[in-house]
């Protein structure tokens, strides 16, 4: 029987696209990320990193790869370095082909660090796979666990369409975005700087702490590749899927109670990232 080449196989995803959520070896936000994709309408499956690296599970059985937050391999040798190396050795070419075929990749926090070390971000045309940027220790000198204000910039990143200002939590010790001046300029010129740290009013953080929690150059909190189908960000959208995850929700609920009205629980700002991905895949042939 002739087997169809997975690299050329196409599907019309009118139903539920399949999202592969990586876990294992210290990644610890996989259940939340799986929940977020499921809430957005995807068939989200947790897959152990060893199963993907060994080939026991095929990347081509999925339409989206999500590398969630955590501390893969304990951040030994730098955050995300070992997982990135293992993925590159096993799947380097396949990952680039996966993206070129129109499929999606999302890296959150430790996942962003992995994508940077893999060279999937920034993924400049003609230099795909080159490691051009880094996420290094926070300027404040310690791990930061806080909610931050974010401004979403106009871009072709499909994950962030419809978003402008939002709040998400961060929790990292190595989140400072660093790149040489010429790379920063190329990111800006190409519209690949997607999310920046901001003030509560949506103004530029200007590198000031705590609005910019880690000292990221140009206040960068997230970037995409040239195609807009690969996104990496330090804040955690999977941690704000419902309004009850926001730290002020009990105060808000009490305000509604005193008015004699029920608290209107609604979607959190982070859910839009996952809904955008699912809606794109439903309308795509990949």
3-class secondary-structure state, position 65: strand
Catalytic residue among 109, 157, 172, 240: 109
Residue 72, Cβ neighbours under 10 Å: how many?
28
Catalytic residue among 149, 172, 236, 246: 236
- DSSP H or E segment with residue 83: helix 81-100
224 is a catalytic site residue: no
Catalytic residue among 149, 238, 240, 246: 238
Spatial separation of the C-alpha atoms in residues 200 and 137, rounded to whole Å: 24
Rg (CA), the chain: 19
Q: In sequence order, which residues have a C-beta less than 8 Å from that of residue 249 and are 6 or more positions away?
A: 243, 263
- DSSP H or E segment with residue 277: helix 271-282
Please, are residues 170 and 212 in contact by the beta-carbon 8 Å criterion? no
236 is a catalytic site residue: yes
Spatial separation of the C-alpha atoms in residues 27 and 53, rounded to whole Å: 15
Catalytically active residues are: 109, 236, 238
């Amino acid at each position: 029987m002739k087997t169809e080449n997975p690299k050329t196989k196409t599907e019309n995803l009118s139903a539920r696209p399949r999202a592969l959520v990586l876990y294992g070896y210290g990644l610890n936000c996989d259940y939340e990320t799986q929940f977020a994709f499921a809430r957005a309408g995807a068939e989200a499956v947790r897959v152990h990193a060893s199963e993907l690296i060994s080939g026991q599970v095929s990347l081509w059985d999925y339409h989206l790869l999500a590398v969630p937050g955590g501390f893969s391999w304990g951040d030994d040798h730098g955050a995300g370095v070992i997982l990135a190396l293992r993925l590159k050795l096993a799947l380097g070419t396949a990952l680039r082909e996966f993206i070129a075929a129109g499929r999606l990749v999302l890296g959150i926090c430790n996942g962003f660090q992995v994508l940077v070390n893999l060279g999937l971000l920034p993924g400049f045309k003609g230099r795909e796979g080159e490691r051009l940027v880094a996420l290094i220790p926070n300027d404040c000198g310690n791990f930061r666990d806080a909610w931050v204000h974010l401004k979403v910039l106009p871009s072709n990143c499909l994950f962030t369409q419809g978003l402008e200002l939002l709040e998400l939590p961060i929790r990292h010790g190595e989140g400072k975005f660093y790149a040489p001046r010429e790379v920063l300029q190329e990111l800006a010129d190409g519209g690949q700087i997607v999310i920046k740290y901001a003030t509560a009013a949506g103004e530029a953080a200007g590198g000031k702490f705590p609005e910019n929690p880690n000292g990221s150059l140009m206040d960068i909190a997230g970037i995409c590749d040239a195609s807009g189908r690969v996104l990496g960000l330090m804040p955690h959208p999977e941690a704000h899927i419902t309004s009850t995850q926001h730290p002020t929700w009990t105060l808000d609920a009490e305000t509604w109670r005193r008015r004699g009205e029920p608290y209107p629980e609604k979607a959190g700002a982070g859910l839009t990232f996952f809904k955008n991905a699912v809606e794109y895949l439903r309308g795509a042939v990949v």
